[in-house]
Amino acid sequence: MSTVLELADVTVRRGQATLLDQVSWTVQEDERWVILGPNGAGKTTLVQLCSAQIHPTSGVAGILGEVLGTVDVFDLRPRIGYTSAAVAERIPRDELVRDVVVSASYGVVGRWREHYDELDHDRARALLVEVGAGKLLDRTFGTLSEGERKRVQIARSLMTDPELLILDEPAAGLDLGGREDLVSTMTVLANDALSPAIVLVSHHVEEIPPGFTHALMLREGRVMAQGPMAEVMTAQNLTLTFGMSLMLTYEDGRYAARRRTRRHVG
Ligand SMILES: Nc1ncnc2c1ncn2[C@@H]1O[C@H](COP(=O)(O)OP(=O)(O)OP(=O)(O)O)[C@@H](O)[C@H]1O
């Protein structure tokens, strides 16, 4: 089993602010992690680091067997599938969905003059079908609903057959149906032995797809808890992480959390 991520005492500072504070974390290739934490906890900073977009201020970040700072990030990035709101914003609204996906082969957003062969197009088509977006092939990105856009972005992030898939808040902005559809897609991905290691950022325990194996909780740049899902997903850890007394339930592979009220005490 190979190690996909190996962070040792990683700190990221910007001016006076400490965005990540001595984070140590290891991810193996068959693991599926969810990163939970409140707004501003450092989740996006952590996955930007893991996708080789930023460097640590101190500490060592090992990604896919390379050490950040000693490797050309342009060699590393194609090995990592990454979706985020920031990536989505860069996709031209008049781009055809098929081109949004296929252009990931070149690590670009927006087709220009690159050449793609039939195999690339076949793969893009197959990935869109896999995420339930096969019918969107000839639509333009700008005409899609938010849920459809998320699916297309996941297909795009899988285009290069990455060794690590990082999804930063893929359920943000989705309605209940859209979220549930996305959780189903993610459940299929999580349970496929051929899928790469997956890191999913979320604010909500309700979005954790069954089949996810591990959780890491962040607050103010520090790791509050990390490890196997069943051990880490406790009301106590969530309470510590979100700074509010929370109750946690688990049913049919899905978690739900809400504030503990006076009625629940004693
Ligand atoms: N360049 C910067 N200079 C100073 N502070 C920054 C900078 N970039 C980010 N921050 C701060 O770092 C903290 C962590 O940001 P980050 O985006 O990683 O959090 P997050 O957990 O992803 O938040 P959210 O859930 O709201 O998206 C935030 O308080 C943010 O304001």
Q: What is the pLDDT along the chain (266 residues), one digit of tens a residue?
A: 799 999 999 999 999 999 999 999 999 999 999 999 999 999 999 999 999 999 999 999 999 999 999 999 988 988 999 998 888 888 999 999 999 998 887 655 655 556 667 888 899 999 999 888 899 999 999 999 888 998 899 999 999 899 999 999 988 888 888 889 889 989 999 999 999 999 999 989 999 999 999 999 999 999 999 999 999 999 999 999 999 999 999 999 999 999 988 776 65
Q: Which domain holds residue 60?
A: 3-264
- Output the 3-class SS for 226-257: EEEHHHHCCHHHHHHHHCCCEEEEEECCEEEE
Q: What is the ipTM of this complex?
A: 0.97
CATH of residue 198's domain is 3.40.50.300
Name beta bridge partners: 7.
Answer: 25, 61
Q: Which of 12, 14, 19 to mutate to test the pocket of ligand 1 (most atoms within 8 A of CB)?
A: 19
Query: Residue 8: which H helix or E strand, with range?
Result: strand 3-14
For tokens 């005492």, the residue is 9
Centre of ligand 1 to C-alpha 117, Å, is: 40
Q: What is the distance in A from the centroid of ligand 1 to the CA of 8? A: 21
Residues with CB under 6 A from ligand 1: 14-15, 17, 19, 37, 39-45, 203
**Phi-psi bin for 22: left (phi > 0), alpha (psi -120 to 50), beta?**
left
Query: Which of 45, 218, 224 is the pocket-test mutation for ligand 1 (most atoms within 8 Å of CB)?
Result: 45
Gap from CA of 261 to ligand 1 centroid (Å) = 30
Give Cα 148 distance to the centre of its chain: 17
* Ligand 1, atom 24: closest residue by C-alpha: 39
Question: Which atom of ligand 1 is least distant from the CA of 38?
Answer: 25
Q: Rounded to the nearest 5°, which phi and psi values hold at 221?
A: 80, -5
Helices (H), the chain: 43-50, 73-76, 85-89, 97-102, 118-130, 146-158, 176-191, 229-232, 235-242
Number of domains in the chain: 1
pLDDT (0 to 100) of residue 259: 94
CA of 168 to the centre of ligand 1 (A): 13
- In the reported structure, the alpha carbon of residue 16 is separated from the centroid of ligand 1 by a whole-number distance in angstroms of 13
What pLDDT is attached to residue 70?
93
Q: What is the pLDDT of residue 177?
A: 86
